[in-house]
Amino acid sequence: MFSQTVEYALRAVVYLATEHAAANRMNSEQIAKATSVPQAYLSKVLKQLAHGEIITSARGAKGGFAIARPPAQISILEIVNAVEPFQRIKTCPLGLSAHYDQLCALHCRMDRSLEIVESELRNSTLADIIADPNPSVPLCDVPRKKSKAAKTRSNSRRV
């Protein structure tokens, strides 16, 4: 459903929003290495994210990329739309004139499904993703704080 470009954008922004990266500007080489994204392609994605005001960029010795706003103020939908606008079904994908005024039952149901996905992306923030207690690291290998429950489980296993 989502392109490789969207995946790469999400990885980069998640990485830039973590405490590890948010304290400093990161260059495209650092971001590419941390997120397993080809650097040449990532440069194009970072440019789109900067244009979409998701991240900021600065040139020079102390330059690089940083998150533009607090993670709680950036929805996942904004990130997606910055690189590849989310598409709903507005007209018949087959171009059938009989469906000009109204989508057929199939495409109507497909669009309702897309509406649910769009709503979830709009209502999910970068902060939600970073703070999620799921032990799997989201999208890329970034440092995460362990939750108190995870620390307790980890410590109890050592005994």
Looking at residue 67, which CATH number applies to its domain? Answer: 1.10.10.10
Domain, as residue range, for 55 = 4-85+125-143
- 54 within domain boundaries: yes
Query: Contact 12/31 with Cβ under 8 angstroms?
Result: yes
Sign of the dihedral defined by the CA atoms of residues 76, 85, 31, 71, in that order: negative
Q: What is the pLDDT of residue 5?
A: 95
41, part of any domain: yes
Give the model's pLDDT for residue 141: 55
Walk along the chain (159 residues) and give the pLDDT tens digit of each residue.
Answer: 789 999 999 999 999 998 766 778 999 999 999 999 999 999 999 999 999 999 999 988 888 999 999 999 999 999 999 999 999 888 777 777 777 678 888 888 988 999 999 999 999 999 999 888 877 765 555 554 544 444 444 444 444
* Overall domain count for the chain: 1
95 in the Ramachandran plot: left (φ > 0), alpha (ψ -120 to 50) or beta? left
Contacts made by residues 119-123, CB under 8 angstroms, sequence distance 24+: 121/75, 121/76, 121/77, 121/80, 121/86, 122/75, 122/76, 122/77, 123/75
